[in-house]
Structure 1
Amino acid sequence: MRFGQQLRSSLLKDWYYYYIAYDDLKAQLKTDFVTAPTKTNPKPNRKPWTEDNERRFVRELEQELGKVADFQEVKSREIVQRIKASEKEVNDVVSRAERQAADELRGSQVDAPTEEDFLLLEEDLSDIIADVHDLAKFVQLNYTGFQKIIKKHDKQTSWHLKPVFAARLKAKPFFKDNYDAFIVKLSKLYDLVRTRGNPVKGDSSAGGKQQNFVRQTTKYWVHPDNITEVKLILMKHLPVLVFNANKEWDPSDSAISSIYYDNTDTWELYMGRLKKTEGAEAIRLRWYGGMNEDNIFIERKTHREDWTGEKSVKARFKLKEKNVNDYLSGKLTVESIFEKDRREGKKSEKAIDEEEQLAREIQYRVITRRLVPVTRSFYHRTAFQLPGDARVRVSLDSELTMIREDNLDGKTRAGKNWRRPDAGIDFPFKKVPQEDLELFPYAVLEVKLQTQAGQEPPQWIRDLTACHLVEAVPKFSKFIHGTATLNPNRIHLIPFWMPQMDVDIRKPITHKFGIDRPGQSTDISTSGNMDPDSDDDDFEDEEPPVVEENEDLRRLRAARDALEQHDLEQRRDYGTASNGEVNGAAGNSLDVEERIAAAPNTANDYPLYDSDDEDEELANHELEEARRVGGLHYYQTIAKHHIVNLGSKLSSMGKKLSPHGSTMPVQTTQLGIPKYTGETKRFKAPPGKRIHVPVRIEPKVHLATERTFLAWLEFSIILASIAAALLNFGDGLALLSAWAFTLVAAAAMLYSLGLYLWRVRMTRKRRAVSYHDWFGPSVLCFGLLVSVAVSFGLRVGGGAGNKGGLKG
């Protein structure tokens, strides 16, 4: 959807005149015609762009910038005043409720707050929340509008205004307001009203003191345009988790930094976490807040496969920053770390013993495996959780940044220290060289549940994770992503989500879900499918008509109605769910990845994350190794290589000749989403790299491979026994039949042995290949049919010949 259309359909009626006049600015980029349009020449050339045109355009642009910035500032101050007024009213009602509870114990009567009082407060807070949401969307739309009109100006006129206007934007940074302070205050007030003055009590820092974590975690990406909206939705169901309620909220309170360790020769921790091997570990040092924080948490995350009956767990202990280097080098003994805890007796002996054992194991691994700092992750985390209750915890990590910590290229970053000193928490880290940074483009939403077996998560969580605001990315890891992107010359196996980094994750709205204003329907979100990088540079030669106010409002309503109707038609196009409901009514429309996962595929069992050059690279590597070895091994490898190439060519020719081998043309909707679910998208790995596809290997897979091999052997032995019986007890004709059965039995044995060895090798490497064998059973049945036919034919032919001889 073009930005002009998106702006017209998404702006708010009450704020109509405060948005950027995008169409007017766009019209000013057109100069007058050189000659008047005629029937023979309806589109004559326009006059060149002059300095007067530039001066007039810049003047109009600055007026629009001032209008937008002033409105944003006024509206922001208004929200602050409304929050203060609501805070006073909420405290008054809650204090009356507390006095009522106290006076009831003494038997006196007080003017207690009614349910209507709380409902009015909740309605007022919901209206403020909607204002924060609308202001965030207002800022996002206008900022995108300024960026796009500048881009259009520079491209159309060849006058470069972008560097100059960047300074003007810095002078009026209306787009840099952080709404986290609003969200924290509104969360506290809304929680008080929702619980009728009885919020859940508990230790807000329980998560920080907990030593072992066992949770079911799912991860999602959130586009920056949708971050505030997602936070406001979460805030209405769970309060923002504030660790120190007695302290005024500060942005540094939500800052979290982690430094991951690995062996830079083998990258064993990276590979283990990427492949999700049983017992794979991640060792990191984490601190909350700024660089002056004294408490450092030493953590170890251990992955456990489901078949082990154990759960993946994160264990950690606390250490003073001044002792970290000595601890990692082995100079500081583990016993001395916990000597103070034992002396004070604040922790149980069992807890101290567990932490001491953990510290001893981590120290041993760091020293013996030569682990060094490799990657730092930084982000601001907004956590939503009931204090002291970790059953449902949702966190949103924004401004995610990965930073190099190693010294591999000769540059001294961390040196002998456990972290580099030049990277603090000042996002976007202008003091750090750009080649050492990876600014992640999305926020990361983590939903962590501690539910009992068979228990469903809350409905609002299912609605959120199924809506258009989030994109599911299972098993996403900050450590894996940062290490892979910051070490492109050393890491050759990359995670499966890397090819999707340049794909816009924003999706069209599938159903009304979001922030509701009391008494009104939900406004259409601006997070539809607006592409900020699209070039809608098709300038119409007709001048835009001058529209009166009533006409503008009429067009505004018509555009909204058209977009809603388009949503309904698009949900019908996407198909229906298994229960007969439209996908949009039951959840969000299937995105590209979900449709591919749900669609049957006859060509390949694992088509999604594929490197077309992977097999070729492996084959070339095998040929190079065989050439070094030489001799018979080299000739065998050459022969195998040519046979594989010949088989691939024959297979591709067969697919082209087959009527089912052709692909359907991709039909797309207006928003560019394919309509049918049979579409398969293949992602290519960058040159010299391979994409790791998550493949789950359990012990039953190996056992199934062995059972299949033994079944083949059993069948081959039966055929060989038939051949031996014919050979020992048959006549001359039976000898030929025995040979036929013997050949089939020997071929089945050799084929099953090769297939078994190949499957074992592929499962051990966790390769995403098709393990289904459609060739072997077919050829075996055909060979058995030929053997029986030969035996039967010889017997019938021999019998007829004998009868003919007797008759003669």
Structure 2
Amino acid sequence: MKFGQQLRTSLIKDYYYYYISYDDLKTELKTRLNPPNSPTPHIWNEDDEKAFVQVLEAELDKVFTFQKVKSGEIVRRIKVSQKEVEDVIKNMDSREEARKPTEDDFEMLEEDLSDIIADVHDLAKFTQLNYTGFQKIIKKHDKQTGWTLRPLFSARLNAKPFFKDNYDVFIVKLSRLYDLVSTRGNPTQGDSSAGGTQQNFVRQTTKYWVHPDNITELKLIILKHLPVLVFNANKEFEKDDAAISSIYYDNRDFDLYLGRLRKDEGAEAVRLRWYGGMGTQTIFVERKTHREDWTGEKSVKARFSLKEKHVNAFLRGDMTVEQAFEKMRKEGKKSEAEIESLEALAREVQYTTLTKELKPVVRSFYNRTAFQLPGDARVRISLDTELSMIREDNWDGKVRSGDNWRRTDIGIDYPFQQLPEHDIERFPYAILEVKLQTQAGQQPPEWVRELVASHLVEAVPKFSKFIHGCATLYPNKIDLLPYWHPQMHIDIRKPITHHFGIERPNQSVSVSTSDEPSDSEDEIAPVPPMPMADAEAASAPGVLDEEERAGATIPAQTGDDYPFYDSEDEDSDEEETHLLHRSNATRTRNAIVKALQSFGNTVFSYGSYLIPHPRATEIDGPSPKAGTTYARKFKAPPGKRIFVPVRVEPKVYFAAERTFLSWFEFAVILSAVATTLLNFAESGGMVVWAALGFTITAVASLIYAAGLYIWRVRMMRSRRAVRYHEKYGPTVLCALMVISVGVNFGGALAGKV
């Protein structure tokens, strides 16, 4: 869909006259370039540029003024609602029965807050749509006129930054008020930092990508069910409070990267994390350890804290573990058992850092909004925005971190304009993490299942900031890429699948601009959406992940190397050469082959009706749209491979061994039959030939079983997602059996005759 049409279909009625006049600006461009009474196109000149910029600035001023007024109105409404809520909460303890709030009072407050939430949602969509409109009309201007307006107008946009309003302040305040009202003045009590004090915690986590157009809407939806987790309620919220930075460590061979990517048993990730700005003195040293399901253990994240001034000495081994925890022992705030556990962890991390020669490799920075009931970790949702990955190494001769544990030339000043492009990867999406702690057989809340199945999110199982940062920032050092790497160019916005979104009181769901995605002015075919993870399936233990389900349904022609998608440079070169040098004889041969294939497919399709096979049961319900693609095979960049993790448990090896022994038993029985026939056969008779047939079948089955067993073990060790079932072997051996039995039966009949 063209952007002009998208704009018209996504307009908010009350804001109608304040949107950018996109169609008028397009008409202005078209009229000046192609005057109605002129037979030839007009050459764009300085007067045309001034006139167009004047019209464009008038539109910018209109949008900026409305956004500023509307934002101020929301601020005032929040202040009024805050006072009303506080008054109602105070009256709850009043001794006068007449002053005590009723259920109607709380319902009216909840309705007012819902209306404010809808206003914040509409203003965010208004801002996003207008900003996109300005970007597109400037792009169209530069393309059609040949004059460059983008740098100049970017400065004017920054002078009137209607698109830079921070809605997180609104969200935090609205979350607190809505929680007070929805709980009728009795919000959940608990330690807001619960989880921050835990050293070892295990959660079931599912990750999703969120398009920037949907971030504010998603936050507003979640805050109606979970409050924003604020660690210090007595302090006014600032943007720096949401900043989280992590330094990931690895060596020159990227051993930790490869282990985490392949999901090797016991694979570790070591990182140093701090919350807030660069002045933070408390640094958390964390270690993530991956555990396979068959071990009966869960993947664990463990951490301990250090003062920033001691980090370098600790990582170099100059500071011992005992010295690092000496102050903690003197304070006596933790038990001896807890301190010993932390010391053991610190000793292991220090040993790993020194023996594997780990150095700072990638920094991840993002602003996190966490939603959770205080002290209740059963449902925790976090949304990471402005995600950036930054190089920290010194391996290419450029000094970044030097001898320090992190580089000091940057802080938390997103978007880090001072960095060169090859030093930073600005991730285009936000990362939503849904963390659940549910009992066995317990389903996640209904609203969570609706949220993760909605058009607002895109499931990306096992996504890792560390893995993505290494894969994108070190293209010359890393050849094995994560499965999501080739999907980065795909627009993840999807049409609305069901009524889910911000709803005004007594009105239908607000329209989301994400239902009509558009990347250009031209008509484009809709991109098939990537598969969404089912919330119920994701919550069940032992169920295959999205990429593993894809690995279990491999096209037959992909062969052994399916999880390692080859780069397309060889195929592209061959195809180009083939197109340039194809002769008439080649075209004729291809036509014949195509005709034979078509004939064979026709014969097979009609013949398949003669073979009985199970049919799917028809059920009522919506059917998938025709032409919708839920999986696709991606090509890796030249010289790269894409790894899709495959789970191989010990029982798989035992199953392969049992299958081999079954074939071995079958071969022994056939050889016994052949020996028996030889003992009772006359020389030169048909029975001798039957015995020979049984012998050949027995030997063939032994060779086939041994070769198949060796191949399977090799594939399992390399974690290849190949077809492990026997496709042709049983058919061939059964045919040999039929021939041998037929020869034996024929020989017996001939002997009687």
How high is the TM-score relative to the length of structure 1? Answer: 0.81
CA contact (8 A) 2:360 2:406 kept: yes
Cα distance in 2, alignment partners of residues 792 and 342 from structure 1? 88
Q: Deviations over 1:3-42 (max 9, x none)?
A: 11111111111111000011111111123798979xxxxx
CA contact (8 A) 2:494 2:517 kept: no
Amino acid at match of 2:676: A
Aligned match of 2:474 in 472, 480, 487?
487
Secondary structure of the corresponding residue to residue 120 of structure 2:
helix
Aligned-pair CA distance for 1:431:
2.4
Secondary structure of the corresponding residue to residue 513 of structure 2:
coil
Amino acid at match of 1:173: P
Task: Identify if the C-alpha distance between structure 1 residues 33 and 349 changes in structure 2 by more than 3 Å, giving closer, same or farther.
Answer: closer
Amino acid at match of 2:174: L
In the alignment, structure 1 residue 91 sits paired with structure 2 residue 86: yes
Which residue is equivalent to 1:623? Answer: none
Aligned-pair CA distance for 1:441:
0.5
CA contact (8 A) 2:287 2:301 kept: yes
Aligned match of 2:54 in 49, 56, 59?
59
Which residue is equivalent to 1:775? Answer: 728
CA contact (8 A) 1:2 1:530 kept: no
In the alignment, structure 1 residue 221 sits paired with structure 2 residue 175: no
Aligned-pair CA distance for 1:343:
2.0
In the alignment, structure 1 residue 726 sits paired with structure 2 residue 721: no
Amino acid at match of 2:56: L
Aligned-pair CA distance for 1:660:
7.3
In the alignment, structure 1 residue 16 sits paired with structure 2 residue 11: no
CA contact (8 A) 1:383 1:394 kept: yes
Which residue is equivalent to 1:191? Answer: 179
Cα distance in 1, alignment partners of residues 35 and 250 from structure 2? 70
Map residues 358-377 of structure 1 onto 2, 5 A cutoff. 358-377=345-364
Cα distance in 1, alignment partners of residues 629 and 447 from structure 2? 31
Task: Identify if the C-alpha distance between structure 1 residues 609 and 90 changes in structure 2 by more than 3 Å, giving closer, same or farther.
Answer: farther
Q: How many equivalent residue pairs? A: 697
Task: Identify if the C-alpha distance between structure 1 residues 159 and 760 changes in structure 2 by more than 3 Å, giving closer, same or farther.
Answer: same
Aligned-pair CA distance for 1:421:
1.2
Which residue is equivalent to 1:669? Answer: none
Cα distance in 1, alignment partners of residues 506 and 181 from structure 2? 19
Aligned-pair CA distance for 1:612:
4.2
CA contact (8 A) 1:722 1:741 kept: yes
Aligned match of 1:264 in 252, 277, 280?
252
Aligned match of 1:337 in 324, 336, 349?
324
Identity of aligned residues (%): 64
Secondary structure of the corresponding residue to residue 511 of structure 2:
coil
Task: Identify if the C-alpha distance between structure 1 residues 724 and 595 changes in structure 2 by more than 3 Å, giving closer, same or farther.
Answer: closer
Aligned-pair CA distance for 1:280:
1.4
Which residue is equivalent to 1:550? Answer: none
Cα distance in 1, alignment partners of residues 41 and 733 from structure 2? 76
Task: Identify if the C-alpha distance between structure 1 residues 328 and 607 changes in structure 2 by more than 3 Å, giving closer, same or farther.
Answer: closer
Amino acid at match of 1:611: Y
Task: Identify if the C-alpha distance between structure 1 residues 613 and 749 changes in structure 2 by more than 3 Å, giving closer, same or farther.
Answer: farther
Which residue is equivalent to 2:141? Answer: 153
In the alignment, structure 1 residue 683 sits paired with structure 2 residue 652: no
Cα distance in 1, alignment partners of residues 719 and 523 from structure 2? 48
Map residues 207-218 of structure 1 onto 2, 5 A cutoff. 207-218=195-206
Map residues 400-439 of structure 1 onto 2, 5 A cutoff. 400-439=387-426
Task: Identify if the C-alpha distance between structure 1 residues 749 and 133 changes in structure 2 by more than 3 Å, giving closer, same or farther.
Answer: same
Which residue is equivalent to 1:630? Answer: none
Aligned-pair CA distance for 1:400:
0.5
Aligned-pair CA distance for 1:652:
11
Q: Deviations over 1:188-246 (max 9, x none)?
A: 11111111111111111112111111111000000011100001111111111111111
Which residue is equivalent to 1:764? Answer: 717
In the alignment, structure 1 residue 709 sits paired with structure 2 residue 698: no
Q: Deviations over 1:428-478 (max 9, x none)?
A: 112222211011100000000011000110111001000000000000000
Secondary structure of the corresponding residue to residue 677 of structure 2:
helix
Map residues 73-112 of structure 1 onto 2, 5 A cutoff. 73-97=68-92, 99-100=93-94, 103=95, 109=97, 111-112=99-100
Which residue is equivalent to 2:6? Answer: 6
5+ residue gaps, structure 1, are 38-42, 539-566, 579-591, 618-650, 664-672, 801-808
Cα distance in 2, alignment partners of residues 660 and 146 from structure 1? 55
Task: Identify if the C-alpha distance between structure 1 residues 35 and 89 changes in structure 2 by more than 3 Å, giving closer, same or farther.
Answer: closer
Which residue is equivalent to 1:29? Answer: 29
Q: Deviations over 1:740-778 (max 9, x none)?
A: 211111111111111111110111111122212211111
CA contact (8 A) 1:72 1:135 kept: yes
CA contact (8 A) 1:608 1:680 kept: no
CA contact (8 A) 2:568 2:638 kept: no
Aligned match of 2:697 in 703, 723, 744?
744
Task: Identify if the C-alpha distance between structure 1 residues 32 and 139 changes in structure 2 by more than 3 Å, giving closer, same or farther.
Answer: closer
In the alignment, structure 1 residue 133 sits paired with structure 2 residue 121: yes
Secondary structure of the corresponding residue to residue 84 of structure 1:
helix
Cα distance in 1, alignment partners of residues 746 and 604 from structure 2? 42
CA contact (8 A) 2:551 2:721 kept: no
Aligned-pair CA distance for 1:55:
2.4
Q: Provide the aligned C-alpha RMSD in A.
A: 3.1
Task: Identify if the C-alpha distance between structure 1 residues 776 and 83 changes in structure 2 by more than 3 Å, giving closer, same or farther.
Answer: same
Task: Identify if the C-alpha distance between structure 1 residues 606 and 452 changes in structure 2 by more than 3 Å, giving closer, same or farther.
Answer: farther
CA contact (8 A) 1:609 1:682 kept: no
Amino acid at match of 1:339: E
CA contact (8 A) 1:596 1:608 kept: no
Task: Identify if the C-alpha distance between structure 1 residues 594 and 259 changes in structure 2 by more than 3 Å, giving closer, same or farther.
Answer: closer
CA contact (8 A) 2:561 2:722 kept: no
Which residue is equivalent to 2:150? Answer: 162
Which residue is equivalent to 2:274? Answer: 287
5+ residue gaps, structure 2, are 535-545, 572-592, 606-623
Task: Identify if the C-alpha distance between structure 1 residues 150 and 315 changes in structure 2 by more than 3 Å, giving closer, same or farther.
Answer: same
Q: Deviations over 1:575-608 (max 9, x none)?
A: xxx9xxxxxxxxxxxxx99997998966569998
Secondary structure of the corresponding residue to residue 82 of structure 2:
helix
